Structure 1
Amino acid sequence: MHITEYELFEVPPRWLFLKVTTSDGTVGWGEPVVEGRSKTVKSAVEELLDTYLVGEDPARIEDHWQTMYRGGFYRGGPILMSAIAGIDQALWDIKGKTYGAPVYELLGGAARDRLRVYQWIGGDEPSDVADQARQKVDAGFTALKMNGTPEIERLDSPAAIEAAADRLREVREEVGDEVDIGVDFHGRVSKPMAKRLVAALEPYDPFFIEEPVLPEHLDDLGEVAQHTTVPIATGERLYSRWDFKGLFEDGHVDLIQPDLSHAGGITEVKKIASMAEAYDVAVAPHCPLGPIALASCVQVDACLPNALIQEQSLDIHYNETNDVLDYLADPSVFEYRDGYVDIPDDPGLGIEIDEEYVRDRAGEDVDWHNPVWRHDDGSVAEW
């Protein structure tokens, strides 16, 4: 068996799907994308497949991963690692279908029967979060996540800190102490503001504080951690085990969030998670993306002893035109009950893509880019 062809589909709201077909007709799906840079990643996927993978045996996943990563003198980064990630997902999907087993069975078998998920509330600039929190808890979710702030100055006012604390307080008062609430700083916050914000939010018991500083400033996490006992989460903008190595050695992170469509796919995130386990760090994969990325996350989560919870994009504020279940032939595979999703038992990634619908939606003009925010003085703010 060998890889004979592939197709790429840019689909709304902001996703890129990869279909890989083998000589015996087996099809594997992947989701190689950087949000807002789908066309760039598409070119990287085409280069890797055209110059190397077409004609190769899809079963040699580890060797293909090493070749795609180490075969170029320049390596790493979001574009290349996302291209590798989507290809890797498709290869695992093919392998699982070939052996008639879910991917997690090929990775050692399930370590759990179901997986806890969390639900986003609020938008880029958080508002109406208390009302949304009540709706999601009434729908069965036991864990939520919200943005902590809109754009914020390097040194902002006491009012900005009070507003962030008030939003979390309102959500906590609305849903009570039985619901977990993650707060995402989204890398918007400077180190001095992060220190003040984590202290102000602590009385309302956040589940975790996410990306309190930018990836460029991970060496500042220790100083932020001195101002709170709230668990610190980060990692959606780290792309390999080498990127995570220093983070583990520093010892200030409690929860990592590698992205299965950015951090080298199933092969690499399984290794990153094993490294995390050795440092007593939990894993909650980043996934505000589509169904293939989510399916890949669930397959890896299923066999991780240190998987804590899974992000998923149902009703997220980015999904204005299509949602995560729209592209599935059987959406019930991601049926959330009591805040959990069952581990699937179908072969490969455990999902069936509605290819006819994918082709129909791929005819739309997809050109999503994140907004560029600016401060009052006109300078660029972190989004």
Structure 2
Amino acid sequence: MNIARIETFLVPPRWLFVRIETDDGLVGWGEPIVEGRAEAVASVVATFAERLVGADAGRIEDHWQVMTKGGFYRGGPVLSSAVAGIDQALWDLKGKALGVPVYELLGGPVRDKVRVYSWIGGDTVQALTEEALRAKENGFDAVKCNAAAQLEHIDSPAVVHRIVDQFAELRGAVGDDFDFALDFHGRFSTAMTRRLLPLLEPLLPLFVEEPVLPEFSRDLARITASTSIPIATGERLFSRGDFRDVLPTGIAVAQPDLSHAGGISEVRRIAAMAEAYDVAIAPHCPLGPIALASSLQVDFATPNFLIQEQSLGIHYNEGNDLLDYLVDPSVFAFTDGYVRRPTAPGLGVEVDEAAVRKAARDPHRWRNDVWRRRDGAFAEW
């Protein structure tokens, strides 16, 4: 089972897929992407293909080692994401070749269903509350939303109180049998985070995500020690090495991204590291169907899994949504806030190749916004 062909596809709304075909006709799919830098990742995939074409597709770990360490310069989001997508596709091929889901190759399932949450948004408290209640009506028992838009380094009391009042109203609307998580998105300075977290504690959010930028991860110990709110981080950490100094800081939830952090191979290892620190895993995944399918395979085989992000209906998905490139979308049927364990071999999904090829004829050029503060200086997006 040697690799015969590797192709990439830029498809809307903002995704990159990789297709790996073997000489005996098997096809595996992966999702290597850095949002807003998809073209750069596709170039790295093409570079890796120079070594991979003709090689044994079943040697997943050996390929992972060579891709991540075979060049003098290592790491970073673009390289790690290219590795991640190829790794997903190789696991997909291995499972299909053996006729089993990937989670069976990771030691077998430890659960029958995986809890998922829905993204909500809104420019007003009313809109946010309406979306949360709609998610509740649709069977979800957890949502996540951004805590704020652009902020000053230390913002006014009015801004702080507005944030707290907004989520107090949300808690009152959804009740205590419903979870919401707040994504700080790295928009808060360490000072703003420490000011706000104590005021949010009575609302008992499921977690606060990325309270500071990844370059300030060494400050997380001060933040976790100052609040009872579970702290989550990790979407912009790309390896075990990146997580090594973060896991002992007292975080409650690690959020590696299966399309950024080296794929199934590396996230599985990050999860095992996290378990030693009593840290749960909640894979980051506001992306496409292959990234979600890969995440679920890890979720089903990981004892310290908490909850899974998924992108159905997320604000980024303009024009195309999570289920558009699947032959059978029912594999992602969310019932009472859970998704059942897939049983098909490999990643458990069948990609609609014709739809992918058609969409890739008009490749996206998605870029994230650039925000400015009141004085015109750059603000974190």
Identify the TM-score tier after normalising by the shorter chain: over 0.9
The letter of the residue matching 2:380 is E
* Residue 226 of structure 1: how far off its partner (Å): 3.0
Change (3 A) 1:19 1:275: same
The letter of the residue matching 1:142 is D
Deviations 1:149-186 (A, max 9, x none): 11111010011111111121121111100011100000
What does 1:272-291 correspond to in 2, within 5 Å?
272-291=270-289
* Residue 225 of structure 1: how far off its partner (Å): 2.0
The residue that corresponds to 2:165 in the other structure is: 166
The residue that corresponds to 1:20 in the other structure is: 20
Change (3 A) 1:175 1:220: same
Q: Is contact 1:125-1:149 (8 Å) kept?
A: no
What does 1:122-133 correspond to in 2, within 5 Å?
122=121, 128-133=127-132
The letter of the residue matching 2:366 is W
Q: What is the CA–CA distance in structure 1 between the aligned matches of 2:237 and 2:60, rounded to whole Å?
A: 22
Q: How much identity, in percent, do the aligned residues show?
A: 59
Calculate the TM-score normalised by the size of structure 1: 0.98
Q: What is the CA–CA distance in structure 2 between the aligned matches of 1:18 and 1:372, rounded to whole Å?
A: 28
1:189 alignment partner, SS class:
coil
Matching of residue 66 in structure 1 with residue 74 in structure 2: no
CA RMSD across the alignment: 1.1
Calculate the TM-score normalised by the size of structure 2: 0.98
Q: What is the CA–CA distance in structure 1 between the aligned matches of 2:58 and 2:124, rounded to whole Å?
A: 45
Deviations 1:28-87 (A, max 9, x none): 00000000000000001100112x100000000001000101101111110000000000
Deviations 1:113-136 (A, max 9, x none): 000000011059987211110000
1:306 alignment partner, SS class:
coil
The letter of the residue matching 1:3 is I
Q: What is the CA–CA distance in structure 2 between the aligned matches of 1:125 and 1:313, rounded to whole Å?
A: 21
Consecutive unaligned residues of structure 1, counting only runs of 5 or more, are none
Q: Is contact 2:10-2:38 (8 Å) kept?
A: yes
1:233 alignment partner, SS class:
strand
2:312 alignment partner, SS class:
coil
The residue that corresponds to 2:104 in the other structure is: 105
Q: What is the CA–CA distance in structure 1 between the aligned matches of 2:175 and 2:247, rounded to whole Å?
A: 33
Q: What is the CA–CA distance in structure 1 between the aligned matches of 2:26 and 2:124, rounded to whole Å?
A: 44
Runs of 4+ displaced beyond 2 Å: 123-127
The residue that corresponds to 1:363 in the other structure is: 361
Q: Is contact 2:125-2:169 (8 Å) kept?
A: no
The residue that corresponds to 1:152 in the other structure is: 151
2:245 alignment partner, SS class:
helix
* Residue 227 of structure 1: how far off its partner (Å): 2.7
Deviations 1:99-126 (A, max 9, x none): 0000000110000000000001105998
Q: Is contact 1:126-1:150 (8 Å) kept?
A: no
1:6 alignment partner, SS class:
strand
The residue that corresponds to 1:331 in the other structure is: 329
Q: What is the CA–CA distance in structure 1 between the aligned matches of 2:238 and 2:202, rounded to whole Å?
A: 33
The residue that corresponds to 1:46 in the other structure is: 46
Change (3 A) 1:62 1:365: closer
Q: What is the CA–CA distance in structure 1 between the aligned matches of 2:316 and 2:124, rounded to whole Å?
A: 12
* Residue 330 of structure 1: how far off its partner (Å): 0.1
Q: Is contact 1:124-1:147 (8 Å) kept?
A: no
Q: For structure 1, which segment, 355-364 or 174-183, has the greater mean C-alpha deviation from structure 2 after superposition?
A: 355-364
Q: What is the CA–CA distance in structure 1 between the aligned matches of 2:191 and 2:324, rounded to whole Å?
A: 42
Which of 326, 345, 348 in structure 1 is aligned with 2:346? 348
The residue that corresponds to 1:11 in the other structure is: 11
Which of 297, 300, 304 in structure 2 is aligned with 1:299? 297
